[in-house]
């Protein structure tokens, strides 16, 4: 019977890259959705953050139920003794089946949410520069034009 094992980042670097990109994107989306909710008070940002939170919790739940850590893992076959040969080989062999999903959807959503957050922040902050230009002067700073008054 196959058993779940945590993959080594040295032996399976692509599985770890896919894991970090995917779940790092999920965490970034959750944080950005919360920040957008704070900036705009629009409740639908909370729904977006909750959707990403549910995907993270379901991954952790599936990992715990299967008896493995919530890290990149694969299924390993039982150890089989290596056949004796003239090359003096010894030890055991096992096959590891690795399945990982390298998707760029989550990081792209994180970039889109970051862009929306930056745009919202520019709109909601007074005196924020439009399109990255120089800052606009705020209303009345107490400075008047013309020569100073002499009394």
Tens-digit pLDDT profile for residues 87-112: 555 666 667 777 666 677 888 888 88
Locate tokens 């076959």: which residue? 77
Judged against a pLDDT cut of 60, whether residue 130 lies above it is answered with no
The residue among 44, 45, 28 whose CA lies nearest residue 36 is 45
pLDDT band at 31 (very low <50, low <70, confident <90, very high): very high
If you average pLDDT over residues 32-54, what whole number do you get? Answer: 89
pLDDT at 59: 86
Q: Is the pTM of this model over 0.75?
A: no
23 or 147, which is more confident? 23
């Amino acid at each position: 019977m196959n058993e779940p094992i945590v993959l080594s980042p040295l032996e399976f670097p692509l599985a770890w890259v896919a894991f970090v990109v995917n779940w790092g994107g999920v965490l970034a989306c959750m944080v950005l959705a919360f920040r957008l909710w704070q900036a705009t008070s629009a409740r639908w940002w909370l729904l977006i953050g909750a959707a990403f939170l549910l995907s993270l919790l379901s991954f952790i739940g599936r990992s715990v139920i299967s008896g493995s850590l919530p890290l990149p893992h694969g299924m390993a076959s039982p150890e089989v003794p290596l056949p004796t040969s003239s090359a003096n080989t010894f030890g055991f062999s096992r096959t590891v089946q690795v399945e990982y999903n390298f998707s760029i959807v989550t990081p792209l959503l994180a970039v889109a949410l970051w862009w929306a957050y930056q745009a919202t922040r520019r709109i909601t902050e007074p005196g924020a520069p439009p399109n990255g230009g120089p800052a606009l002067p705020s209303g009345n700073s107490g400075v008047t034009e013309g020569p100073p008054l002499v009394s």
